Chain A
């Protein structure tokens, strides 16, 4: 269908991507990802013949793109760009009808067949109801559907989309990508879409093309990229940002306040929300003892918490317990996330008792779902906002005290 051999793309004499070899088959949804200015748009524009290749060739059905007439290209390739469209008073129908450019006469009069194609295109993007609305009055997501329908009205065998999900909200992004996936299957067309949304691309695309440092790398199985740690590499993730392979989520890591330590006893998903709260407030934390693979374990790790862990489905060992206890002694505050306690994590309860004995301030957080699972004699809260307020108040006092201690030490 579409393939390239040793394609070099760029502007004038500035090569952006070199030696790109790529093959796209009908019915495939190909995601093109890469950091900003990695040449995604340039690559797509070259594939769509909006730019001339600097070297190499693009083939469509075995024919060189350069040899195809503009008219033929228009019937093979439909595009959706990021450019702002000046639609004036045009209705969505009229916009989609422009896709029939190469099929209509000089005055662009539509035949019943043209109308049929246009309505089909609108229907397949779920935009039939928008047909008579002014394009300029639509939401971004609706506009994107119309622009896709317009490209479909060209009856192309290849659809090329540049950043179709920018400007859209989370739901819109997913919907558009799902729509593209559906279209590729339903119409048996090849769809190539660039996106910033790697997490989504990994989830939905059949193939990934990764552009970075002037090269492309093709992943026939997107998960491969995750396993190879390619995502972190792609975006140059370092301190401050981490990519969680398990949740396919990029996580910001903040914990910049190292003045005091907070210990969290959690497990079985009870800690996730607390970790995120602590991370957002910028407090470093230690948590334990968690079993590897537990969601608490995954999240705490990905946002840079110190995690004391035990192998899955094993009772907490002495080693882990001792380590946890040591950390607990160094901590200024304990948050007890009220994890479900069973035999394998029984000793987390012992940690709580130890903390009481140490005289460590303790806050217990009880989610509604965990009701009844609370430890006696501990101050507890049952709303996350209350917890947040308490934390902020408490930590303020804590830093003041510390300053005092330092003062005392100095005067002595």
Chain B
């Protein structure tokens, strides 16, 4: 299982519950202290061993403490920005916790998932900014992406900026996926978009040759690539949407990507529309009797279930369902036993298996005790369809719609499932 399609693995990072705790943001101080101690020790080591060779990394990680109450406008009007009152769209960050966009002295100040500071300066203009950070000239024109989720967000932006995908010059693992986005598929086949290796060992020289304005990456613990990018002077921004514990929080990262293209307004439009659609779905099912649902995969007797504070649990709560593990304080998926799962056997009305399965018996093979649940008896067992990994995030409203129709079929009598499949 651990060696299955990279596509699936990568996608599970954002759909199968969050990866892991979010230490740098939530656990704040203790992590910072330990981080400082470790970097001191490392610095000492480096200094002693090879001071003459040491290249100082370009990254700046310290916290900048200015408070910005002003709001970013479209940068085309930014000549006045400092004094002029904000008149237009407010890219307020409503759900996401891991990034921030603010405005300061004619530049956009962006914080990525690792709290690194970017100063987005419009092309052909001098930066007035006195903040330390990575300067990016916007709008960006050459981009390397690391994950299918980033592709999905750009595909959404395509609604309002049709040629946006022309900026994509490279995708990690690009040719490893089965793409559901035809334009990406074609561009990879024709070689216009380069496959630049796997996330654990990117093809650095190819990336260098592509000369991207920025590389969008996601970070995972133990990732080496960032330090090598630092050494090579390749600029990168970390999009850890998979760590957000709200589905809309994940989707909100569209604002992060969009701001590098100066497409803030467009992103806000897209986001608000999606939010409204989802809210209306939620309202529609709000008065139903909440069904009880189990959301887990099982492999070799080990149950991997979505945590009670994960984005899945959040979506289920929104859609008026009882998640059996809602009291497990875990923001990512967690490991539990089949016995624990069977403890809830008489409640489970619906089972969603976050993975590819061909029949109910596949699941019963691993956990036969589930055969007595009403979910199995009434045939309310669902699994993923392969397209969920790419399109499920792109089409977040569709994902909600599917989920709502699974939970409350009486309200959506004619709905055809796209991202889930009912198992027999």
Asked if the two chains touch in their complex, CB atoms less than 8 Å apart, one says no
Q: Taking beta carbons and an 8 Å cutoff, which residues of A are in contact with B?
A: none
